[in-house]
Amino acid sequence: MAQHPHVQHTREANTSLMSPAELEAYKKEHRIGPDGKARPWWKDVVCYQVWPRSFRDSGTTAQERVSADEAQDDEQERTDRDLKGRHGDIRGVIEKLDHIQSLGVDVIWLCPVYANGHKDAGYDITDYSAIDPDFGTMADMDELIAQTKKRGMRIIIDLVVSHTSDKHAWFEESRKDKTNPKADWYIWADPKRDAEGDFIVRSKPGEPIRYMEPNNWRAALIHDTAWTWCEERQQFYLHCFLKCQPDLNWETEACRKAIYATAIEFWLKKGIDGFRVDTSNRMSKDMTFTDAEVTTDFSEFQDFSAHHLNGPRIHEYIQEMRRVAMDPYGKGMHDVVFMVGELPGTKPDELLKYMMQDRAEYDASFDFDMCELGGNDHPDLVDKHEVLNPGQGFLLPEMKDCIAKTQSLISSTGGEAWTTSFAENHDQVRSIRRWVTDHPDYWSRACKLMCILECTLSGSLFIFQGQEIGMHNMPSHFGPSDFRDIDAQKWCARPKYATPDGDPYMAQLAIDDVLNVGRDNTRTPMQWDDSANAGFTAHPDGPWMPLNDNYREINVAKQNGDRDSPLNFWRKMIKYRARHKELFILGTFKCLDRDNERLFTFVKETWNGYKALVLLNFSAERLPFTFPREALRETGEVDKWSRKVTRKPLVLIGNYSPFEQEAGALQGWEARVYLM
């Protein structure tokens, strides 16, 4: 089986024959920890995700992007209809590198800035090896890489290779006919046939002929068929997402080689340190095109996750991608190419197949079970306005189970498998609303509670832009004219909500859906200061998307000057995380109160027995607690009456000051970490 070069070298080296100096040099080169195990550079990093369109507008990319006619496309985002240079760009990221570095960040994850079709926020790519003019130039990208490295940080980028844009040159050739050189680079299928073998026709007599789709698979985002008819080929093509995002056919070797060359090797040669792999378990499909199980009656088209997640050849493809396109660019433990995969809908046993180091697939994973709590991302079962957040009723024990699942990847394998700690990204909502509370009386403490939770969980830590200052979801007065995400626009246009009689109640339900769990919640412009446009852009017409109303109270400049702000708490907690990395980054996890619906108590333990206790009050109520016996630490003090050494807890950090902390009880939304 294929292995990372660093795994193979570590196992083959005979350290018993080395001199002390040689052994020390070997341990340094291969990052051997005190437990004797190899620790690649990406295990203990803090990663900061930049969604560039909303990060910072440098004012250098203003331009008209589409004509009025082109803007009528039914999948065209509002961002490309009427906005001119009012969005973030690469030079804006360069301008704010010092802020990112000040947090203690090791790695920047830059979301797509590739040339794209402007229909899904950069995830509909037209050229993997080009920069979209909206974001700047290749020279800007080169400078960003250089400036990031100059500050001692690394940079990873999105690898979006399950699909492209329908405007990509590969697809434009593939769709021409069934015999061109790229005819099989995408997934094509004939219409469904009847018992006699004839194509089934959907259209009525007198209407243009419209054939029945190959099966009942339903695409995400558009909540309709996953197949679109191509007149030139007289076939349907598959798209798991928007119809402008045709799925690549990984069964075709020439297609895979082209992906490796243009989407991976091109960027590694430029100095990129790794990739966050988008929809990373969707490259292998059920090519028999069997109908999906019928699980809902709101549509004839059904969720087909069982036919495109964790498919029959997925591990073969990932191992080949690693071996052919990445390993040649790794230079030992310090420079191995980092690959973190997005793995929704994947059970623990399957996760291990992706994560074990000796399999040479992904180095770490994003698991979304916690994100899906309360019915999120399950439109077959729960409308978006009905998705429950913790304060609305879903049980804290379920959240603990999700965390235990990902943490067990590390503890059950001795660290051979790895995970991530994250609470926000560009596809989710703000953690302050989803997991805790944005009530003004508790908002700051709730931000710090989430910070403590994330920083004490093992794995590579990921922070999303704005999370460090506790940015909120969109305000309640936002509506369809303020939404920019195509998923939000299409959701509001669904017949269920956009009724023929214009029912205002149903229209408001659709808006409530988006405000509750829509992706635009984390995509509002970054709040840098309290000046006009929050310091995001100097454009006289304001930013590409409306700002949150609270930018004058919640912004980077204000929190920089406040020692007790969430921003400065993140900086402090990241330092504690690094100082105690054997506990918080590499330690094992044990939940002590799975069934408690308000208090979350867990223990972290190092390989050699040192422990920390983490207490988190997920409520506004005062909660008494008692210490587990192992939560007590020898202080060396002698009780003057019993003459015995006392054992007292030692608080490492909390979100209340020592003067506000109460012995034996946690106040509303309080968090504490004890060294045992």
pLDDT digit string, tens, across residues 96-115: 999 999 999 999 999 999 99
Answer whether 483's CB lies under 8 Å from 520's CB.
yes
In a domain, 637, yes or no: yes
Could you say which DSSP state residue 608 is in? T
pLDDT computed for residue 379 by the predictor: 55
Give yes or no: residues 527 and 605 share one domain.
no
Q: Which of 464, 492, 521 is the endpoint of a domain?
A: 521
Same domain, 48 and 148: yes
- Give catalytic status of residue 278 as yes or no: yes
Say yes or no: 441 and 493 in one domain. Answer: no
List, in order, residues 6 or more apart from 479 with CB less than 8 Å away. Answer: 511
Q: Residue 512 in 3-state DSSP?
A: helix
Same domain, 381 and 362: yes
pTM (predicted TM-score): 0.92
The torsion angle over the Cα atoms of residues 162, 166, 167 and 168, rounded to 10 degrees, is 30
386 and 514, same structural domain?
no
Residue among 475, 660, 645, 459 at smallest CA distance from 554: 475
Q: Report the C-alpha gap between 498 and 509 in whole angstroms.
A: 10
Which pLDDT belongs to residue 9? 47
pLDDT recorded at residue 378: 58
Instruction: Find tokens 């560039």 and name the residue.
Output: 52
The reply to whether 639 and 551 lie within a common domain is no
538 and 405: one domain? yes
Q: What are the tokens at 22?
A: 């040689």
Element holding 516 (H helix, E strand): helix 504-517
Q: Is residue 8 part of a domain?
A: no
127 assigned to active site: no
**What are the tens digits of pLDDT across the range 154-207?**
999 999 999 999 999 999 999 999 999 999 999 999 999 999 999 999 988 888
Catalytic residue among 124, 278, 377, 424: 278
Residues 501 and 514 in one domain: yes
Within a domain: residue 379? yes
Catalytic residue among 120, 342, 427, 605: 342
> What span, in angstroms and rounded, lies between the C-alpha atoms of 327 and 453?
34
| Count of the separate structural domains present in the chain | 3
Domain assignment present for 13? no
| Cβ within 8 Å of residue 339, ≥6 positions away | 159, 274, 275, 277, 322, 326, 361, 362, 363
Low-confidence stretches of the chain (pLDDT beneath 50): 6, 8-11, 63-72, 76-81
Range of the domain at 612: 588-675
- What per-residue string of b and e applies to 3-23 under the rule 16 or more CB within 10 Å gives b? bbebbebbeeeeeeeeeeeee
Determine, yes or no, domain membership for 635. yes
Instruction: Tell me the C-alpha to C-alpha distance, in Å, between residue 357 and each of 168, 333, 343, 347, 361.
Output: 34, 13, 17, 18, 7
Same domain, yes or no: 314 and 378: yes
